Amino acid sequence: MRFAGNVIWFVFGGAVLALIWLLGAAVFAISIIGLPLTRAAIEMAKMSAFPFGKDVVHVRELDRKGVTATTATTGTIGFIFNVLWACTFGIVLFFSYIIAGIINCITIIGIPFGIQSFKLAGISFWPVGRRVVSIELAKAVREENARMQLQTMRPSA
């Protein structure tokens, strides 16, 4: 299903979406200030081209770094860029993907494509600090993080 879904998605718009995001990444890369958005646009291009079999996780879920001076600074900068992004392009893209998802979900055959549109809506609204990974890796990371949280919550004997 992943392969067929990705091929259909790519042919009927995914390639164009990915190219638009890569063009945006190139524009953001020209300015030094836009570098965090460049990384986010590249992640979005990966997801826009082939969304089936992929999921989005936060970078802190992957690296499991705690709060340090560096992570706090990068988190604050990422938050500022996400707010700027959400107030400009993010809100338009978010609603575009939501509308596309609703339209896709009207037919039974379009439901998987609608689900992918909703997934893309989430990352398009708040992309900085997110990484596109396989569904299996996302599941493994979340399970490992849940195990670690559970261990810290259990009282020691």
CB proximity list for 66: less than 8 A, separation 6 or greater? none
| Domain range list for the chain | 2-153
Alpha carbons 28 and 148: distance in angstroms, whole number: 37
pTM for the model: 0.77
How far is residue 32 CA from its own chain's centroid?
A: 22
Residue 129, helix vs strand vs coil: coil
Token digits of residue 143: 């399970």
Q: What is the pLDDT of residues 105-119, one digit of tens each?
A: 998 999 999 999 999
CB proximity list for 115: less than 8 A, separation 6 or greater? 101, 105
Per-residue confidence at 36, pLDDT binned at 50, 70, 90? confident
Q: What is the pLDDT of residues 62-116, one digit of tens each?
A: 887 777 777 777 788 888 888 888 887 788 888 888 998 899 899 899 999 999 9
